Amino acid sequence: MAPAAAATPVYVLGNDLLHEVFLRLPTPADLLRTALACKPFLGAARNAAFLRQFRRLNPSTCPLLLGCLLRPEDHLPLLLSEEAADETRRVAETGDFALSFLPGGGAPWQVLDCRNGRLLARNLASGELVVADPLSRRWVSLPAPPTERPVGYGLVAGDVNSSVFHAVCISRDAGSGSSEMRASVLSSSEFRWADVAGLASQPNLAGSRAMHSHRSLYWKLEGGERMVALNTATTEFSLVDLPKELHKLSFDVFEKEEDGGLYLLTMRAWSIEVWAAVEDGTGGLIWRLVDTSVRFNRAMEEMHGSPWSYRDGLDVIGVAAGFVFLRHGALLFSIDLETMRPERLSLKEDCPSALIYPYTTAWPPLFLSPTEQGASQGRRC
């Protein structure tokens, strides 16, 4: 009887075929478990192009949305929905969202921006800036920005290489009588601030945090007629006119992986509206209303009472991982934009909306970063 042929291990298929298999895994959690099965699987999963493709196929679960980050000094600095899954709660419990792992001798930290699991924060006593990861408790200190009048900050964190980021500081020129707005950018690859561009005679930022879309940052200006935009890839600093319907409304920008366009999401009356920026043929942009949804109203009415109690009273906090966060007084809602199903979070009414950040875990996790060379202790983020 002929001896049975030896079984061929699956990893000899090669990375291209392994990628095709991995792309069919149903969730990011399944990918992480598969990558940890053996070294060949881990090597295949660390491919940057594959990770981008996997994220495009799993936009609503990759990265994982944990909840909303509040002020670090609050009793519960990370708010989870009342119906958060056990997996979400387990992940959240591993983090230090009070930022007690940061230096500063116990002085409080203010979160300036939050993106892809990373925080840009400032020590309120010393003024020191850091980029930190509350889940891994890693952080890196930044040099002071070259300005005396910072008015806004932003952070763009890498979606595939978790060690790459750009920090942005928006400032007013310190010259006498000057109203010029300046943008400075710090890249993690060079680790120094560069004054990249300016805009003359602009009003102040409207007290809102930075908004993110495709490696660009946006800040609404006072008056609501415009926002400033900084492309961190090209360092172009520009103005974007807003549709008149949004001048007095809160909104957030967001991106769609399939087309790379710029979109705004707002809440008007009982409807969630999506506006798209379209080129007008002369180098400018015009806005078009592309989607209106009232599907969440019945669920909101069951949860919150009569719809008249929140008509025109919901503020858009932010859009992240396929969810929009809305605030009404001391109540915070997350709404799944695919199903329009709302979930409720409790909130301290005295927490300013500009200090509430939707928080997602970093993607990819540190051990899947294509350039990760091993975990070192201390300050490296």
Mean pLDDT of 86-109: 86
Higher pLDDT, 126 or 312: 126
pLDDT at 129 exceeding the cut of 90: yes
Structure confidence by residue, pLDDT tens digits, 22-64: 999 988 878 888 888 888 888 888 888 888 788 778 766 777 7
For CA atoms 187, 254, 112, 239, the dihedral sign is positive
CATH class given for the domain over 63-362: mainly beta
Q: Note the pLDDT of residue 162.
A: 61
DSSP secondary structure, 236-270, as one string: -EEEEE--GGGTTS-EEEE--TTT---EEEEEETT
127-141, 173-187, 253-267: least confident range = 173-187
Q: What gap in Å lies between CA 131 and CA 90, rounded to an integer?
A: 24
Structure confidence by residue, pLDDT tens digits, 169-185: 999 875 545 578 999 99
Band of residue 67 on the pLDDT scale cut at 50, 70, 90 = confident
**Sequence spans of domains, the chain:** 10-52, 63-362
Structure confidence by residue, pLDDT tens digits, 117-126: 899 999 999 9
Q: Note the pLDDT of residue 3.
A: 57
Q: What gap in Å lies between CA 105 and CA 88, rounded to an integer?
A: 31
Q: What gap in Å lies between CA 46 and CA 35, rounded to an integer?
A: 9
Q: Note the pLDDT of residue 371.
A: 45
Backbone conformation region of residue 53, classed left if phi is above 0, alpha if psi is from -120 to 50, else beta? alpha
Mean pLDDT of 336-362: 82
The pTM (predicted TM-score) of the whole model is: 0.83
Band of residue 312 on the pLDDT scale cut at 50, 70, 90 = low
Q: What would you report as the CA-atom Rg of the chain, rounded to the nearest whole angstrom?
A: 22
Mean pLDDT of 110-139: 93
Band of residue 9 on the pLDDT scale cut at 50, 70, 90 = low
